[in-house]
Structure 1
Amino acid sequence: MSAVVTVSPDRAALVAETADRLSGLLVELIAEQGHATVALTGGSVGIELLAALVGREIDWQHVHVTWSDERYVPADSPDRNALQARDALLDRVPIPAANVHELPADDGTPLEEAAAAGTALLRGLGTIDLTLLGMGPDAHIASLFPGLPGVHEAGVAVIAVTDSPKPPPARLSFTVGAINASDRVWLVVAGADKADAVALVRGGAAAELAPAGTARGTRETLMLLDAEAAALLEESGR
């Protein structure tokens, strides 16, 4: 399913508009099926988006969350996406602890074993209603980086990443298959430093060059941009 592109005038508007869209989706899903399951993302825009959900009329008792990737560091490390999400949102809303499904933290378990545990966790959650993704200036998503073999990993849902070009090097990440098994995939991207990557993705670059171009939801795929990130897109090419 081809991504639908929307452009907000600036970063603040992107965060506010995406928060409106997300809170509306959660309310709709809970009304229709009794629950909603979302894979969160890290990064500055992702965390700003979570903070913007505080105070919204969402029945958090019926929301489940996990993460599309995680840094393999101790549970109390400030590098953990989960810890940042707790500070921004999860510790500020009445979501049950049992509804927060963190990918494993580094407790001495070998990374490959942690990835297998992450795969089991994800499969136990069933269908993900929405996977949120950021995108790096190199067009990476989750911890799937250009030129690394993880973008082609098949047969599992969560992989071990040992050589991330961004620190820390050890990470856990959804595979492309896990991302694309989600009903909806939203890429939320802001900043002039992402404009080249956005253009690369929209131009149909190969997965090895632009992993973000592989992301597809089974029901919906959105690329939510601010004007700076969309600066290199021509109107006809959006």
Structure 2
Amino acid sequence: MSLSPGDRASAELPDGHRPPPQVVIEPDTDRLVRAVAEALVARLAAAQAVHGSASVVLTGGGVGIAVLRHVAGLVAEPVREVVDWSQVDFWWGDERFVPADSDDRNERQARTALLDGLDLPGFRVHAMGASDAFATPEEAAEDYAAELREYAAEGRDLPRFDVLLLGMGPEGHTASIFPGSPAVGDERPVVAVRDCPKPPPTRVSLGFPALTSAEEVWLLVAGEEKAPAVARALAGAPRDEIPAAGVHGTRATRWLLDAAAASRLPRAED
């Protein structure tokens, strides 16, 4: 199977009873950002058509925040306005355990890029706790787990996530779950993470039970330095070695890559 730039193809990999992951490759990061932003708006509109509301889990990082900026541009075009943003719940996959006004916060970056311009009801934005509100990341994790339960259907611990966005680091980490971290084997929906190899070292992250509960998981990955980890993940690496390899959606898992990040994937002979 050829996975050339711009192609959309399914990577035929076994994954239990879940659909195999799909791989989408765009020629460069700018094209990737535009494609993801447009697809996200369409997916949230489709979710609202079915459920009346929609729910998305946001990610930080350069590509994740660039996608939100592009969504903000789409919102500014009335002809493209198809989502009732007052009926969208925004959650986070992870957060840095720093003060609420820190520029390191994924929430703060997302608000600047998109959320502050949407005039959202406050209860629709589900930010993880900051270090000036909670004494420890464990307390912040417990608080977020409680909020997830509050918005879940009766008898469940997690609400419906229509789309869960994730990035991936060069070593294969996703959300704030790093290779070899105790969080890899933690079966709680939200976990405190200490001693991360990437600063800031203390964080709060969704755990695998939450990361794998979304209807669709989209992994947004750009850059040649991430290509080896992408190839290992799609070849079925164990999640303790490449945590991103252990994340999948209940209906779809999409690896959305630029050509550089996809450069180590196997290609069929022409």
Question: So what's the TM-score if we normalise by structure 2?
Answer: 0.85
Q: CA deviation at 1:195?
A: 0.5
* SS at structure 1 position matched to 2:71: coil
Query: Whole-Å Cα distance in 2 between the matches of residues 110 and 149 of structure 1?
Result: 17
Query: Whole-Å Cα distance in 1 between the matches of residues 141 and 118 of structure 2?
Result: 29
Q: CA deviation at 1:117?
A: 0.6
Letter matched to residue 150 of structure 1 = A
Q: CA deviation at 1:235?
A: 2.7
Alignment-derived partner of residue 87 in structure 1: 112
1:22 aligned onto 2:40: yes
Structure 2 residue runs of 5 or longer lacking an equivalent are: 1-17, 76-80, 152-158
Q: CA deviation at 1:94?
A: 2.5
Superposed, which structure 2 residues align to 1:43-192 within 5 Å?
43-54=61-72, 55-56=74-75, 57=81, 58-107=83-132, 108-125=134-151, 126-154=159-187, 156-192=188-224
Indicate conservation of the 8 Å contact 2:232/2:242, yes or no: yes
Query: Whole-Å Cα distance in 1 between the matches of residues 149 and 198 of structure 2?
Result: 27
Q: Percent identity?
A: 46
* SS at structure 2 position matched to 1:19: helix
Q: CA deviation at 1:15?
A: 0.4
1:6 aligned onto 2:24: yes
Q: CA deviation at 1:177?
A: 1.0
Of 34-43 and 110-119, deviating more is 110-119
Query: Whole-Å Cα distance in 2 between the matches of residues 114 and 93 of structure 1?
Result: 26
Q: CA deviation at 1:236?
A: 4.3
Letter matched to residue 90 of structure 2 = V
Query: What is the RMSD computed on CA atoms of the aligned residues?
Result: 1.3
1:194 aligned onto 2:212: no
Alignment-derived partner of residue 247 in structure 2: 215
Q: CA deviation at 1:104?
A: 0.6
* SS at structure 1 position matched to 2:204: strand
Of 58-67 and 78-87, deviating more is 58-67
Question: So what's the TM-score if we normalise by structure 1?
Answer: 0.96
Distance 1:236 1:212, change over 3 A: farther
* SS at structure 2 position matched to 1:235: coil
Indicate conservation of the 8 Å contact 2:216/2:249, yes or no: yes
Letter matched to residue 53 of structure 1 = V
Write out the 4+ residue segments of structure 1 that deviate beyond 6 Å after TM superposition: none
Aligned length: 236
Query: Whole-Å Cα distance in 2 between the matches of residues 94 and 31 of structure 1?
Result: 21
